[in-house]
Amino acid sequence: MKSDEEEQLRSVALQNAREILAARQRAEQLLLQTKEQLERTTKQLAQSLALTRAALESAPDGIVVTNAAGVITDFNRKYLELWALDDVESRDHHQLLRRISRHFADPEAFLRRIDEIYRSPDPEVTDMLALADGRIFERVSKIQSVDGVDVGRVWSFRDITERVTTQRELNEILEQKVAERTAALQRSEQRFEQLINGIRDCAIYMLDPSGHIVSWNPGAERIKGYTAAEIIGRHFSTFYTEEDRAGGAPARALQVATREGKFEAEVWRVRKDGTAFWANVLIDPIHAEDGTLVGFAKITRDMTERRAMQEQLNQSQKMEAIGHLTGGVAHDFNNLLTVILGNLETIGRHILPDQARVLRALDQANRGAQRAATLTQQLLAFSRRQPLNPKPTDLNRLVSELSELVRRTLHEDIALETVLGGGLWRVDIDANQLESAVLNLVVNARDAMKEGGKLTIETANSYLDRHYASKYSEIAPGQYVLICVTDTGCGMSKEVLSHAFDPFFTTKGIGEGTGLGLSQVFGFVKQSGGHIKLYSEVGEGTTVKIYLPRVHGEVCIEDSESSVPDAKGHPSETILVVEDDDDVRIYSTEALRDLGFTVLEAHDGASALRVLELHPEVMLLFTDVGLPSINGRQLADEARRRWPQLRVLFTSGYARNAIVHQGRLDPGVELLTKPFTRTELAGRIRDVLDAKRAV
Ligand SMILES: Nc1ncnc2c1ncn2[C@@H]1O[C@H](COP(=O)(O)OP(=O)(O)OP(=O)(O)O)[C@@H](O)[C@H]1O
Ligand SMILES: [Mg+2]
């Protein structure tokens, strides 16, 4: 039994020993495995650490790492380099900070900021450090946490001096550029303003899209009369006439400008004082870059004066044209009337006294022809082609001598006043024509004062300045003598005024006026180098001003020549009559033969010269001025050159430039104007033949 128990015990023990052995083997194996594992892990860790260091070293920034207790756990070479350190020496961060704080102008401020960062709960703080040597570092401090627990901080530093200076330089350049641009802009704005403000002839202003005024230049103030303070904010329709406003013209103008890109017109506009002016208006829409309408630019020019000048010019061109026409007609009429009057005279001389009926008829025919001659003369005067005989004249004397006649012309209920200017300059004028012009005006004044009134005739020295002269195409600035006839009569409407000088324009009844009075005055004044102006308003009377150019130099007053009545000729006196109009030539030659002269005739200049060659006994050449090819003046010049003793008498329907320069006779030239009567012809021929030859 005992041995069984022993056996059993032994086998259990054996069993246990085996198990223990096996367990030990397993444990040894496990240990081996663990050791290998550890070795592998350690190796990996070492590799990873080496990589981390390499990464740390290769970073461009200086880096220092501190743990939660403020002990430096790591740093790289760049860090030492940036702060000019050989080594960190101590691992105490604060100690190190004190060492690097010497790089700052204010080390304490640097240290205070570090304390702030340590205390800050922000996971990341970035700031810039300005070093005393001028370098600039960017510092980033980042909290490092593992499983939510702060384990320390990574401090990284980067030298951004270059970046900042470049940035700064760029900023400076940029700022300078901006400043330059601003200055240039200001300058250009200033120039623009000066330009707009300097323009005084144009109103330049701006409207907002609804037509309210937003800017105003001095030109606008000058033309329209409003100051900027008065008008800015008001609507531009203020400048329109009542009718234009009522008709919606302002809105239409803006619509046209918007639709067509421009509105332009010449129209009446109204100034602040209520007066109207003729305006040239331009409206341009202004658009923003995106195309929206931001307002309108308005330019207005005052064209009132220019319009008046244009009207003046049209008027004088019209007068010029009518003048040409009238002159031509009158010229032909003169020839016809010379024939008619001359032949009537011849008939008269051959009528027997008992032929009473024929005598009456002759008398009427004569009067009719005389009236026609007067009319023709007036037409010639209007067309500025009547021969004038100007002499230096004292207008005061002329007016004084005329006043008796004037008084007789007026009714008793018209008072006459003459106001004669002192120290009056002289004028070079045909006094007879001037008298008839003044009488014409007096008669007009009388007719305008049916209910009585006052007539004033004034004389004065006057200066027409450049400004005044520039308004009229035909007048030169300078010194003039003014003669001025004023009445208190019915006056003239604008319409009548604009036609008053037209030939045959009259408002008088048939048979009362020919409408040639003012035409004649107009033509005469113009031909004399003067200027005439009418001032009149309905119910306010009329003033007619005649300006005659002042004459300088010696004044010699000649006696007027006298014709010898019933002058006769002698057969020994030979006269050559040169006239292209057959009827006139026949009339003249017959009349001269009747008077007793020996008469030769020619129809043009060339044949006249041939006649003179054959007949050296010719004493007087009586020639028409308007001959074909060689004119009368050329004929006379040539004849006098060859026969210096030859005397010359010209005849003409109107004064051609050949003998009459600027409407005035050349000195020493004799002229008999058509139509002429037998008696006038005889008288002038005698005058010329009997005159002492000028030396
Ligand atoms: N002083 C005046 N006051 C008012 N109207 C005038 C005056 N002078 C001229 N007129 C107007 O001008 C018109 C033309 O004048 P103008 O002297 O040329 O002719 P007329 O007087 O009508 O005729 P005429 O002079 O040939 O007898 C006149 O019919 C008249 O209507
Ligand atoms: Mg008249």
Query: pLDDT digit string (tens) for 71-129?
Result: 999 999 999 999 999 888 888 999 999 999 999 999 999 999 999 999 988 999 999 99
Residue 468 has pLDDT above 80, yes or no: no
Q: DSSP characters for 176-222? A: HHHHHHHHHHHHHHHHHHHHHHH--SEEEEEE-TTSBEEEE-HHHHH
Query: pLDDT grade, residue 225 (50/70/90)?
Result: very high
**Confidence (pLDDT) at 448:** 95
Residue 621 Cβ inside 6 Å of ligand 1? The answer reads no
The pair of structure tokens assigned to 490 is: 């019915």
Number of domains in the chain: 4
Domain of 641 in residue numbering reads as 574-690
Q: Tell me if 264 sits within 8 A of 301, measured CB to CB.
A: no
Q: Of 424, 363, 373, 416, whose CA–CA distance to 398 is shortest?
A: 424
> Is 569 among the domain residues?
no
When the pLDDT of each residue in the chain is averaged and rounded to a whole number, the result is 88
Residue 694 has pLDDT above 90, yes or no: no
Q: Where are the beta strands (DSSP E) in 407-524?
A: 414-419, 427-429, 453-464, 478-487
The pair of structure tokens assigned to 199 is: 């323009």
Query: pLDDT digit string (tens) for 551-569?
Result: 875 544 444 344 445 678 8
Q: Identify whether residues 395 and 429 lie together within a single domain.
A: yes
Query: pLDDT digit string (tens) for 592-628?
Result: 998 899 999 999 999 999 999 999 999 999 999 888 8
Residue 517 Cβ inside 6 Å of ligand 1? The answer reads yes
**Confidence (pLDDT) at 663:** 53
> Is 618 among the domain residues?
yes
Determine the 3-state secondary structure of 475 from DSSP: coil
The CATH number linked to 522 is: 3.30.565.10
**Confidence (pLDDT) at 564:** 45
To which H or E segment does residue 17 belong?
A: helix 2-58
- The Cα–Cα gap between 298 and 133 comes to 63
- The Cα–Cα gap between 689 and 598 comes to 14
Q: Of 68, 97, 71, whose CA–CA distance to 85 is shortest?
A: 97
**Confidence (pLDDT) at 478:** 87
Q: Identify whether residues 67 and 139 lie together within a single domain.
A: yes
Q: Identify whether residues 474 and 617 lie together within a single domain.
A: no
Residue 492 Cβ inside 6 Å of ligand 1? The answer reads yes
Q: Identify whether residues 410 and 542 lie together within a single domain.
A: yes
Task: Kindly tell me the burial class for residue 164, based on how many C-beta atoms sit within 10 Å of its own C-beta (0-12, 13-18, 19 or more).
Answer: middle
Characterize 433-467 residue by residue with b for buried, 16 or more Cβ atoms within 10 angstroms of its Cβ, and e for exposed: bbbbbbbbbbebbbbbbeeebbbbbbbbebebeee
Q: What percent of the chain has pLDDT over 90?
A: 57
User: Which of 371, 444, 495, 502 should be mutated for ligand 1, with most atoms under 8 A from CB?
Assistant: 444
Q: Of 112, 104, 107, 156, whose CA–CA distance to 130 is shortest?
A: 104
Q: How many CA atoms lie within 13 A of 255 on its CB side?
A: 5
Q: Which ligand is nearest to the CA of 504?
A: 1
The pair of structure tokens assigned to 393 is: 């004249």
Residue 514 Cβ inside 6 Å of ligand 1? The answer reads yes
Q: Identify whether residues 297 and 421 lie together within a single domain.
A: no
Residue 505 Cβ inside 6 Å of ligand 1? The answer reads yes
User: Which of 454, 506, 507, 524 should be mutated for ligand 1, with most atoms under 8 A from CB?
Assistant: 506
> Atom 8 of ligand 1 has which residue's CA nearest to it?
444
**Confidence (pLDDT) at 558:** 41
Q: Identify whether residues 595 and 683 lie together within a single domain.
A: yes
Residue 695 has pLDDT above 70, yes or no: no
Average pLDDT over residues 308-328: 84
Residue 85 Cβ inside 6 Å of ligand 1? The answer reads no
Average pLDDT over residues 465-493: 86
**Confidence (pLDDT) at 308:** 86
> Is 518 among the domain residues?
yes
> Is 606 among the domain residues?
yes
> Is 164 among the domain residues?
no
Query: pLDDT grade, residue 667 (50/70/90)?
Result: low
Q: Nearest 10 degrees: CA dihedral of 114, 119, 121, 123?
A: 30
Q: Tell me if 282 sits within 8 A of 236, measured CB to CB.
A: no
Sheet-wide strand order for 453-464 = 414-419, 453-464, 478-487, 541-549, 531-537
Q: Identify whether residues 539 and 585 lie together within a single domain.
A: no
Residue 523 Cβ inside 6 Å of ligand 1? The answer reads no
Q: Identify whether residues 148 and 296 lie together within a single domain.
A: no
**Confidence (pLDDT) at 175:** 94
Residue 490 Cβ inside 6 Å of ligand 1? The answer reads yes
CA 397 to centroid of ligand 1, rounded, Å: 26
Q: Which ligand is nearest to the CA of 516?
A: 1
Query: pLDDT grade, residue 167 (50/70/90)?
Result: very high
Query: pLDDT grade, residue 658 (50/70/90)?
Result: very low
CA 524 to centroid of ligand 1, rounded, Å: 16
> Is 659 among the domain residues?
yes
User: Among 285, 302, 319, which residue terminates a domain?
Assistant: 302
Q: Of 564, 587, 596, whose CA–CA distance to 680 is shortest?
A: 564
Sheet-wide strand order for 276-287 = 213-216, 202-207, 293-302, 276-287, 263-270
Q: Identify whether residues 102 and 214 lie together within a single domain.
A: no
- Longest Cα separation, the chain: 229
Average pLDDT over residues 436-450: 94
Residue 316 has pLDDT above 60, yes or no: yes
Q: Where are the beta strands (DSSP E) in 365-498?
A: 391-393, 414-419, 427-429, 453-464, 478-487
CA 517 to centroid of ligand 2, rounded, Å: 4
**Confidence (pLDDT) at 473:** 67
**Confidence (pLDDT) at 105:** 93
User: Among 255, 271, 302, which residue terminates a domain?
Assistant: 302
Q: Which ligand is nearest to the CA of 414?
A: 1
Measured in whole angstroms, the distance separating CA 640 from the mean position of its chain's CA atoms is 57
**Confidence (pLDDT) at 661:** 55
Q: Identify whether residues 146 and 71 lie together within a single domain.
A: yes
Query: pLDDT digit string (tens) for 344-392?
Result: 988 888 888 888 888 888 989 998 998 898 888 888 888 877 878 888 9
Q: Which ligand is nearest to the CA of 544?
A: 1
Residue 375 Cβ inside 6 Å of ligand 1? The answer reads no
Residue that the structure tokens 């005397």 belong to: 647
> Atom 7 of ligand 1 has which residue's CA nearest to it?
444
User: Which of 406, 450, 518 should be mutated for ligand 1, with most atoms under 8 A from CB?
Assistant: 518
Residue 250 Cβ inside 6 Å of ligand 1? The answer reads no
**Confidence (pLDDT) at 1:** 58
CA 675 to centroid of ligand 2, rounded, Å: 24
The CATH number linked to 218 is: 3.30.450.20
Q: Identify whether residues 402 and 538 lie together within a single domain.
A: yes
Residues 6+ apart with CB under 8 A from 92: 70, 71, 72
Query: pLDDT digit string (tens) for 273-290?
Result: 999 999 999 999 999 999
Q: Which atom of ligand 1 is nearest to the CA of 489?
A: 3
Q: Identify whether residues 229 and 279 lie together within a single domain.
A: yes
Residue 521 Cβ inside 6 Å of ligand 1? The answer reads no
Query: pLDDT digit string (tens) for 168-184?
Result: 999 999 999 999 999 99
Query: Whole-structure pTM over 0.85, yes or no?
Result: no
Q: Which atom of ligand 1 is nearest to the CA of 506?
A: 29
- The Cα–Cα gap between 619 and 91 comes to 151
> Is 335 among the domain residues?
no
Q: Which ligand is nearest to the CA of 506?
A: 1
Rounded to 5 degrees, what are φ and ψ at 653?
-70, -40
The CATH number linked to 609 is: 3.40.50.2300
Query: pLDDT digit string (tens) for 249-278?
Result: 999 999 999 999 999 999 999 999 999 999
> Atom 17 of ligand 1 has which residue's CA nearest to it?
517
Query: How many residues in the chain?
Result: 695
> Is 208 among the domain residues?
yes
Q: Tell me if 124 sits within 8 A of 142, measured CB to CB.
A: yes
Residue 655 has pLDDT above 70, yes or no: no
**Confidence (pLDDT) at 2:** 66
Measured in whole angstroms, the distance separating CA 495 from the mean position of its chain's CA atoms is 29
Residue 450 Cβ inside 6 Å of ligand 1? The answer reads no
User: Among 159, 184, 209, which residue terminates a domain?
Assistant: 159
Ion ligand 2: residues, CB within 5 A, are: 444, 517
Q: DSSP characters for 295-352? A: EEEEEEEE-HHHHHHHHHHHHHHHHHHHHHHHHHHHHHHHHHHHHHHHHHHHHHHH--
To which H or E segment does residue 116 belong?
A: helix 107-119
Q: Which ligand is nearest to the CA of 501?
A: 1
Residues facing 267 on adjacent strands: 279
Residues 6+ apart with CB under 8 A from 324: 383
